[in-house]
Amino acid sequence: MGPIVGTYSLILGSYSAASIGTWAVVFVVDSVAEVQPFNDANVLAAAAATTGLFDANTKYIRLENPGDVSFLFNPSSDLILDGEVIDRFSLPAGFEARIPNQSITESFSGSPTRIFEKTATEYNNLPIGIQRNLALLYGPIGREITGAGTYRFNNFHAYNGSYSIWSLTVEFERLNHRVIVSDTGGGLSGRTWTLVDSNQVSTAVTPTSQTSTEVIFDFDSFSDGSYYLVGSGVQFASFQLGGNVTITGSGGINLGGTANIVYIADSTGIYTLVPGKLNDTIYTGLADPETLEVKIPDPFIKTAYLGES
């Protein structure tokens, strides 16, 4: 068995079906550096006086987009998904933050801000000036807000149905693939699971074991391609901070590589090939960790007549 390739923490809401309609917006910001704490009491008091939505004594998290578009989140009450689900082929790089629409009160000064919604989610009462950009199924839909003015978002639909919470990239046949999903917040009970391949073909999969805090899958083999393991339910429909979700991967055979589950927000950048180096060091696009040591993905050879590496 190969070692764990990567361990990442997400903060997810529980998957309660209650309060449908509260959650629907995903913001993407370009840089970790743009996420900052914000507790300027004077500003907040003024904002509270104007909007009635802010508390001068709360320490908020500010997402600041280029063009002075910023949003404030209350980490104790606003749901934030910290990080982006990797998809090397379709998803944009960046950070996601899922927030309740009631928190969006800041002005947009003209620079596009991207809003992402799950594909096939119904659109509802988007203000004038919001344009839609399509993305792949099971990836987010990008929308750009353009123009000046103050926008309030109301009446977004919830994320009904399945939503990809992580992707599993598999390059070639392997044995003994084990994927573990754990949620210390206990939000995994009752989920059913679907494996979606790169052609968007869905196959129901049954976990080896499943509790409210941990789901284990053992897959036999994969062909080339990218796969999405999708949990059922109304996602992010209710606000409640969950625990950490840890994604781990193990498996692989000698000479045949390992299950390659790496959670990276943005691995783009400039690299140097280092003779004799036994692993890859990659940028993550995250504040912590900024870089990641990963195994060289799936080194293998396949000969002509043995049929297996």
Partner 1 sequence: MRDHQPITLETFNGLWRKGDPEDTPPDHFSDCNNVSFLGVASFQTRPGVGLHQNVLAPLGNIVRMYNYITQDKNTLIVLTYNTTTNTGSIYHVIDGTTVFGPLLSIVGMTDFAFVAYAGRAYISPFSSFLTGGLNIEKGLQNEFLYVYKGDGTAARKAGANAPTGTIAIANGAAGNTDPGFKLFGVVFETDTGYLSPPAAFNSFTTSAAQSVSFSSIPVSVQAFVTKRHIVATKTIINYNGNTTGYIYYFIPNAILNDNVTTTLPDISFFDIDLLDDASELLDNFAEIPAGAGLTLYHNRLILYTTFTDISLAYCSLPGEPEAFDQVDGLIVAPLDGNPITNANELRDIFYVNKRNRTLAYSDNGDVPSSWGPPTVIDQAIGAPIHGVATFIDSGSTSVNYLIMASYKGIVVFNGVYALPELSWKIADLWNELDRNEFRKIQFLNDSIGQLLYIVLPTGILLVGDYNNGLDPKNIRWTKWEFNFNIRTIALVNINELIIGAGL
Least distance in angstroms from the C-beta of 305 to partner 1 = 6
- Which is closer to partner 1, CB of 14 or CB of 267? 267
Q: How far is the CB of 300 from partner 1 (least distance, A)?
A: 6
Contact status, residue 76 vs residue 51, Cβ threshold 8 Å: no
Residues 298 and 171 sit within 8 Å (Cβ to Cβ)? yes
Tell me the closest approach of the beta carbon of residue 58 to partner 1, in angstroms.
28
Q: CB of residue 28 vs partner 1: minimum separation in angstroms?
A: 9
Order of strands across the sheet that contains 209-210: 9-13, 241-250, 177-183, 214-219, 209-210
Shortest gap between Cβ of 57 and partner 1 (angstroms)? 32
Q: Which is nearer to partner 1, 132 or 277 (CB)?
A: 277
> CB–CB of 24/245 below 8 Å?
no
C-beta closer to partner 1: residue 210 or 258: 258
C-alpha 99/C-alpha 121 separation (Å) is: 17
* Cβ–Cβ under 8 Å, residues 191 and 183: no
Q: Which is nearer to partner 1, 13 or 94 (CB)?
A: 94
Calpha distance 167→83 (Å, rounded): 13
- CB of residue 282 to partner 1, shortest distance in Å: 5
Dihedral in degrees, nearest 10, Cα atoms 84, 144, 268, 177: 30
**Residues in contact with partner 1 by the rule CB under 8 A:** 30-31, 33, 88, 92-93, 112, 114, 144, 171-172, 257, 260, 262, 264, 266-283, 285, 291, 294, 296-305
For partner 1, the closer of residues 47 and 261 by Cβ is 261
The whole-angstrom separation of Cα 47 and Cα 45 is 5
Query: Toward partner 1, which CB reaches closer, 123 or 271?
Result: 271
